[in-house]
């Protein structure tokens, strides 16, 4: 009898341990090369919430024409962008002015959108639904109608939030979407394995030369951060790097006074910048009207960058090589063009040779995580 | 104890004392002249460092270190090695000197064993003498 | 990089601070008029240090600083009444430098008054500068305020006329801030006599604003943050109710109150200088009131540079520093305490530690 009890206890413990290991621990260790994720206290991760967020993310019914979901512009098969589109296309193929940033590793951003007008993923999710050129809804009510009545949703919301009927609000909807987005983290690229993992063969000689340029002559590392124990490739700050703004140089005095006078809210900026190209080029200035922000945009991460062509806030730079050439020229597309008056103090001509430019491009191609290697092929420009 | 052994013991002690006197008497003493000479050697390198500091020729655009760092102020050498944000990793003072040569001075870095780099470091630390070490301080 | 998901409240507060800072020009319009003068605003750009390399090449960093300051000043709302350029347009006083600097300044949409700096002066004793910009000291009245410009970077005659074999040598010696062969700045007897006469006709209740390159104080002699006859000049300003000195040269935020005179330093567009107390081998007297600015990140060439706009309500200066990569700061005269104060950071528990950045 004693032997039987002993084995029974052992087997129970074993399966209990298995069960513990199997459950999705939300704060498991981050991939190689990334810092650990911190989740907001008011929106902890659970497997059910993540699954609900996934469903919402892909639901085309939350648009005026029933054709557009978050995944339309943030397609998982395309590294959560709509590469190779320059600017995104919403309902009825309406275009905006900005290139869709990736959702991958967006959990490490301190603000959302190219101009940082949204403080977190929950808030960000509210805007595209009601933007005329994205999902085109007049307000969020159609979404609420669906999630409050569709049986699959009502059951999920009950399980996840313990809420039903009128108590399901956009707060719950966006919390679920954000929880889903927070699972999209990727590191463990060839660069990570080489720099943090000690695998000396993980990078080619050209990529190693490119890394050296990245942190020295190329001056990239000051904004696209690589640090001692992890690399986010973004400083979460806003800089004018001379893309797009040159086209509106002469209009800046007029546009600037308009915006200083208008003092738009984040919601109003959201609509204006996606519909008016000239306003879009003002960057963060449209939101803050601070001179320091004229023409400035958030530093994107470079992780998986090879999969998300074309580049910059307006998708105007087609390839990675074009990007490096732009920086090499000191913040202009064609060498010798006049530089805009508000260019970030960190941008200046680099005097890199052709071979050095190629090496930098090779390095950036080493930043793709294994799970997105296929997306690189579909993103390559013909 | 036998007499022979006793004698050997005494001899050994005397030899040891003798060696001790020689070693102590001659190995660890610096003369005043030595110290003064070595200090002059050092100061000559500090002065070379100062000349480099105000020189317009370290980079390619005529800017000198002294333009932004009069008397090497605000170089805070006592905080190195430290995490240098502009380089993304922990570096020593000379790495930052080379960064300045390449960036604000738009020039080439000096080799890590270049005597000019030592001279610049000598000048920078000389102007900061007396300040306690605070490595890593940001 | 720390991963902080900032709370929405912190985010909105940060944005609020930014919008408040940039909405300051609009708030000036609502301020009440006081006494016999009207509230108005002017902009101040200083210490451009345009530096010639060769041919048509100038040091790009300093060029961009002046270009940006000019472009932003032109965007100011409401519009400034005039601009003051605070001195050191050139680095070594050469014609190419002064010409290039004048060309960049010419893009300003407003009347510009210029102040002489030592880097403009010591090559040809201001001869070419005067051709471009006019007299080296003068005064004018505007909306009930009496403005004065002095050339306060003169020095002893022997040093200026006899010490150096060539003009180029003299300029180079004065150009090094920490050069032990330099010589202390002064206003000099001729200008002090002129100033005394000029002030005789001014009512004691009229606000006085004096523009000078050197500080009209004795801060740190080693770097010529110094005016040798500071006390004599201050004595001339003593009888007035509201007197302010605005000075350049130091490339950093400083402000002070000496009896009835407020002192305000302006930023350089070219590069920042360390505070004198960061030089471990010498004692200095940074004005007691000054809350230092943040240390610069040398990667961002415009960090710790900037320009400023000044608003004269109640006859005293409110100076808004327009800084890059930093929170803008406002230093305003506080009538209750009788001294200039940083409106955000003056309180003891809010002071920004000066070495906070890189």
3-state secondary structure C221-254: HHHCEECCCHHHHHHHHCCCCCEEEEECCCCCCC
Which of A181, A211, A238 is at the close of a domain? Answer: A181
Q: What is the percentage of chain C residues whose pLDDT exceeds 90?
A: 75
> Which tens digit of pLDDT belongs to each residue from A29-44?
789 999 999 899 999 9
With a cut of 50, say whether residue A306 has pLDDT above it.
Answer: yes
Identify the band that residue C285 occupies on the pLDDT scale cut at 50, 70 and 90: confident
Q: Does B131 touch chain C (CB under 8 A)?
A: yes
Q: Is A216's CB within 8 Å of B83's CB?
A: no
The nearest CA of chain B is from the CA of A335 a distance in Å of: 18
- Give the pLDDT score at A379: 56
A142 part of a folded domain: yes
User: Using a CB-CB distance cutoff of 8 angstroms, which residues of chain A are in contact with residue B84?
Assistant: none
Which of A181, A207, A242 is at the close of a domain? Answer: A181
The count of C-alpha atoms lying within 13 angstroms of the C-alpha of A367, restricted to the half-sphere facing its C-beta, is 28
Q: How far is CA C301 from CA A236, C236, C305, in A?
A: 19, 40, 8
Range in B101-105, C11-15, C302-306 with the lowest mean pLDDT = C11-15
Mean pLDDT of C39-51: 95
- Give the pLDDT score at C23: 36
- Give the pLDDT score at C176: 95
Q: Is C299's CB within 8 Å of A230's CB?
A: no
> Which tens digit of pLDDT belongs to each residue from C190-205?
999 999 999 999 999 9
With a cut of 90, say whether residue B11 has pLDDT above it.
Answer: no
A23 part of a folded domain: no
Is the peptide bond prior to C78 cis by the omega test (within 30 degrees of 0)? yes
- Give the pLDDT score at C227: 97
The nearest CA of chain B is from the CA of A276 a distance in Å of: 36
User: Using a CB-CB distance cutoff of 8 angstroms, which residues of chain C are in contact with residue A341?
Assistant: 67-68, 70-72
- Give the pLDDT score at C6: 40
- Give the pLDDT score at A342: 95
The nearest CA of chain A is from the CA of C58 a distance in Å of: 14
More confident residue, A176 or C2: A176
The residue segments making up the domain with residue A229 are 186-382
Identify the band that residue B23 occupies on the pLDDT scale cut at 50, 70 and 90: low
With a cut of 60, say whether residue C36 has pLDDT above it.
Answer: no
With a cut of 80, say whether residue C61 has pLDDT above it.
Answer: yes
Mean pLDDT of A40-63: 96
Buried b / exposed e along C173-196 (16+ C-beta atoms within 10 A): bbbbbbbeebbbbbbbeebbebbe
Which of A316, A309, A319, A321 is closest to A356 using CA atoms? A321
Mean pLDDT of C109-137: 97
Q: How far is CA C286 from CA B118, B134, C21, C234, C339, in A?
A: 32, 24, 27, 18, 16
Q: What is the percentage of chain C residues whose pLDDT exceeds 70?
A: 88
Q: What is the percentage of chain B residues whose pLDDT exceeds 90?
A: 74
User: Using a CB-CB distance cutoff of 8 angstroms, which residues of chain C are in contact with residue A35?
Assistant: 1-3
- Give the pLDDT score at C203: 95
Q: How far is CA C323 from CA A259, C271, C327, in A?
A: 20, 12, 7
For residues A341 and A358, state if they share a domain.
yes
For residues A176 and A191, state if they share a domain.
no
For residues A351 and A217, state if they share a domain.
yes
Q: What is the percentage of chain A residues whose pLDDT exceeds 90?
A: 81
A1 part of a folded domain: no
- Give the pLDDT score at A167: 95
What element of type H or E holds C14?
helix C8-30
Adjacent-strand bridge partners of A317: A311
With a cut of 60, say whether residue B18 has pLDDT above it.
Answer: yes
**Residue listed under structure tokens 């206290």:** A41
Residues 6 or more apart whose Cβ sits within 8 Å of residue C96: C52, C58
For residues A263 and A360, state if they share a domain.
yes
C-alpha span between C262 and C255 (Å, rounded)? 7
Domain count across chain A: 2
A254 part of a folded domain: yes
C-alpha span between C187 and C137 (Å, rounded)? 10
Q: What angle do CA A154, A160, A163 make, to 5 degrees?
A: 55
C-alpha span between C345 and B76 (Å, rounded)? 25
With a cut of 50, say whether residue C28 has pLDDT above it.
Answer: no
Asked if residues B136 and B81 have their Cβ atoms less than 8 Å apart, the reply is yes
Residues of chain B numbered 45-64 and touching chain C (CB < 8 Å):
54, 61-63
- Give the pLDDT score at B27: 57
- Give the pLDDT score at C20: 37
For residues A216 and A146, state if they share a domain.
no
Q: What is the percentage of chain A residues whose pLDDT exceeds 70?
A: 93
Mean pLDDT of A91-113: 95
Of A215, A217, A231, the CB nearest to B87: A215
With a cut of 70, say whether residue C337 has pLDDT above it.
Answer: yes
Of A40, A232, A343, the CB nearest to C1: A232
> Which tens digit of pLDDT belongs to each residue from B28-83?
678 999 999 999 999 999 999 999 999 999 999 999 999 999 999 999 999 999 99
> Which tens digit of pLDDT belongs to each residue from A237-250?
999 999 989 889 99
The nearest CA of chain C is from the CA of A210 a distance in Å of: 20
Of B61, B70, B99, the CB nearest to C178: B70
CATH of region C11-342 = 3.60.21.10
- Give the pLDDT score at A333: 84
> Which tens digit of pLDDT belongs to each residue from C216-225?
999 999 999 9
With a cut of 80, say whether residue C2 has pLDDT above it.
Answer: no
Neighbours of A288 (CB within 10 A): 25
Q: Give φ, ψ of C218 to 5 degrees.
A: -115, 95
Residues of chain A numbered 130-189 and touching chain C (CB < 8 Å):
none
> Which tens digit of pLDDT belongs to each residue from A213-224?
999 999 999 999
The structural domains of chain C, with segments of one domain joined by +, span 11-342
**CATH code for position A267:** 1.10.760.10
Asked if residues B134 and C286 have their Cβ atoms less than 8 Å apart, the reply is no
Is the peptide bond prior to A84 cis by the omega test (within 30 degrees of 0)? yes
**Helical spans, DSSP H, in chain A:** 2-22, 47-57, 70-73, 121-129, 141-149, 151-161, 170-181, 190-195, 205-215, 252-262, 266-275, 277-280, 285-288, 320-328, 354-365, 373-379
Which of A153, A181, A209 is at the close of a domain? Answer: A181
C-alpha Rg value of chain A to the nearest Å: 23
Asked if residues C307 and C73 have their Cβ atoms less than 8 Å apart, the reply is yes
Q: Is A217's CB within 8 Å of B102's CB?
A: yes
> Which tens digit of pLDDT belongs to each residue from A311-329?
999 999 999 999 999 999 9
C-alpha span between C150 and C317 (Å, rounded)? 18
A32 part of a folded domain: no
C-alpha span between A299 and B97 (Å, rounded)? 27
Which of A46, A73, A37 is closest to A180 using CA atoms? A46
For residues A267 and A335, state if they share a domain.
yes
For residues A331 and A215, state if they share a domain.
yes
With a cut of 50, say whether residue C9 has pLDDT above it.
Answer: no
For residues A247 and A177, state if they share a domain.
no
Q: Is C299's CB within 8 Å of B63's CB?
A: no
Average pLDDT over chain A, rounded to an integer: 91
Range in A267-281, C50-64, C92-106 with the lowest mean pLDDT = A267-281
């Amino acid at each position: 009898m004693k032997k039987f009890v002993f084995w029974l206890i052992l087997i129970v413990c074993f399966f209990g341990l298995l069960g513990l290991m199997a459950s999705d621990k939300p704060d498991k260790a981050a991939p190689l090369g990334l810092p650990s994720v911190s989740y907001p206290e008011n929106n902890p991760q659970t497997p059910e919430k993540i699954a609900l967020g996934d469903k919402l993310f892909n639901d085309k019914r939350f648009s005026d024409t029933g054709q557009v979901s978050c995944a339309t512009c943030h397609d998982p098969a395309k590294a959560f962008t709509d590469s190779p589109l320059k600017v995104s296309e919403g309902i009825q193929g309406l275009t905006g002015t900005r290139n869709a940033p990736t959702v991958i590793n967006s959990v490490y951003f301190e603000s959302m959108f190219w101009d940082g007008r949204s403080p977190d993923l929950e808030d960000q999710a509210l805007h595209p639904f009601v933007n005329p050129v994205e999902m085109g809804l007049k307000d969020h009510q159609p979404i609420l109608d669906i999630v409050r009545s569709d049986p699959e949703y009502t059951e999920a919301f009950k399980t996840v939030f313990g809420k039903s009927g009128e108590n399901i609000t956009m707060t719950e909807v966006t919390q679920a979407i954000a929880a889903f987005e927070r699972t999209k983290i990727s590191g463990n690229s060839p660069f990570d394995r080489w720099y943090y993992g000690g695998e000396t063969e993980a990078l080619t000689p050209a990529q190693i030369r490119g890394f050296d340029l990245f942190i020295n002559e190329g001056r990239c590392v000051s904004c696209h951060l690589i640090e001692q124990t992890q690399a986010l490739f973004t400083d979460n700050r806003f800089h004018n790097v001379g893309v797009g703004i040159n086209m509106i140089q002469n209009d800046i005095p007029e546009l600037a006074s308009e915006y200083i006078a208008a003092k738009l809210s984040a919601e109003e900026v959201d609509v204006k910048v996606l519909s008016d190209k000239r306003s879009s080029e003002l960057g963060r200035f449209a939101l803050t009207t601070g001179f320091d922000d004229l023409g400035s945009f958030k530093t994107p991460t470079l992780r998986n960058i090879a999969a998300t062509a074309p580049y910059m806030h307006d998708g105007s730079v087609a390839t990675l090589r074009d990007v490096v050439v732009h920086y090499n020229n000191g913040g202009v597309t064609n060498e010798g063009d006049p530089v805009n008056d508000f260019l970030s103090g960190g941008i200046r001509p680099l005097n890199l040779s052709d071979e050095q430019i190629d090496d930098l491009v090779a390095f950036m191609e080493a930043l793709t995580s294994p799970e997105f290697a296929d997306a690189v092929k579909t993103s390559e420009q013909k | 104890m036998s007499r022979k052994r006793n004698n050997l013991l005494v001899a050994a002690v005397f030899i040891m004392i003798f060696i001790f006197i020689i070693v102590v008497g001659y190995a660890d003493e610096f003369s005043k002249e030595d110290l003064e000479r070595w200090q002059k050697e050092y100061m000559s390198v500090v002065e070379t460092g100062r000349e480099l500091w105000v020189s317009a020729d370290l980079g390619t655009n005529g800017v000198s270190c002294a333009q932004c760092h009069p008397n090497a102020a605000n170089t805070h050498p006592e905080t190195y090695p430290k995490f240098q944000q502009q380089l993304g990793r922990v570096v020593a003072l000379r790495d930052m000197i080379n960064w300045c040569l390449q960036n604000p001075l738009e020039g080439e870095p000096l080799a890590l064993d270049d005597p000019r780099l030592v001279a610049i470091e000598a000048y920078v630390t000389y102007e900061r003498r007396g300040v306690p070490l605070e490595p890593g301080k940001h | 990089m720390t991963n902080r998901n900032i709370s929405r409240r912190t985010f909105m507060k940060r944005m609020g601070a930014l919008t408040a800072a940039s909405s300051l020009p609009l708030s000036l319009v609502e301020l009440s008029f006081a006494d016999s003068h009207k509230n108005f605003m002017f902009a101040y750009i200083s210490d451009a240090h345009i530096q010639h390399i060769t041919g048509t090449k100038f040091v790009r960093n300093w060029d961009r600083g002046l270009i940006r300051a000019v472009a932003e000043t032109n965007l100011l709302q409401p519009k400034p009444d005039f601009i003051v350029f605070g001195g050191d347009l050139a680095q070594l006083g050469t014609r190419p430098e002064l010409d290039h600097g004048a060309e960049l300044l010419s893009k300003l949409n407003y009347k510009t008054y210029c102040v002489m700096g030592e880097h403009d002066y010591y090559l040809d004793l201001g001869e070419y500068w005067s051709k471009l910009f006019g007299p080296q000291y003068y005064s004018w009245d505007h909306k009930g305020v009496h403005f004065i410009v002095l050339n306060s970077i003169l020095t002893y005659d022997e040093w200026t006329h006899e010490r150096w074999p060539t003009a180029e040598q003299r300029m180079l010696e004065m150009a090094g801030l920490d050069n032990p062969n330099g010589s202390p700045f002064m206003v000099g007897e001729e200008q002090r006599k002129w100033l005394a006469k000029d002030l005789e006709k001014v009512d004691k209740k009229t606000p006085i604003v004096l523009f000078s390159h050197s500080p009209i104080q004795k801060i740190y002699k080693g770097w010529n943050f110094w005016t040798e006859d500071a006390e004599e000049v201050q004595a001339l300003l003593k009888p007035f109710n509201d007197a302010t000195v605005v000075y350049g040269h130091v490339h950093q935020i400083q402000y002070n109150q000496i009896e009835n005179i407020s002192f305000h330093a302006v930023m350089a567009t070219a590069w920042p200088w360390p505070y004198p107390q960061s030089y471990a081998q010498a004692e200095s007297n940074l004005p007691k009131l000054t809350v230092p600015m943040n240390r610069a990140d040398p990667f961002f060439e415009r960090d710790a540079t900037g320009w400023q706009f000044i608003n004269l309500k109640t006859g005293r200066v409110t100076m808004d520093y327009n800084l890059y990569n930093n929170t803008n700061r406002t230093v305003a005269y506080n009538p209750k305490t009788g001294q200039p104060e940083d409106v955000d950071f003056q309180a003891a528990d809010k002071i920004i530690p000066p070495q906070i950045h890189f």
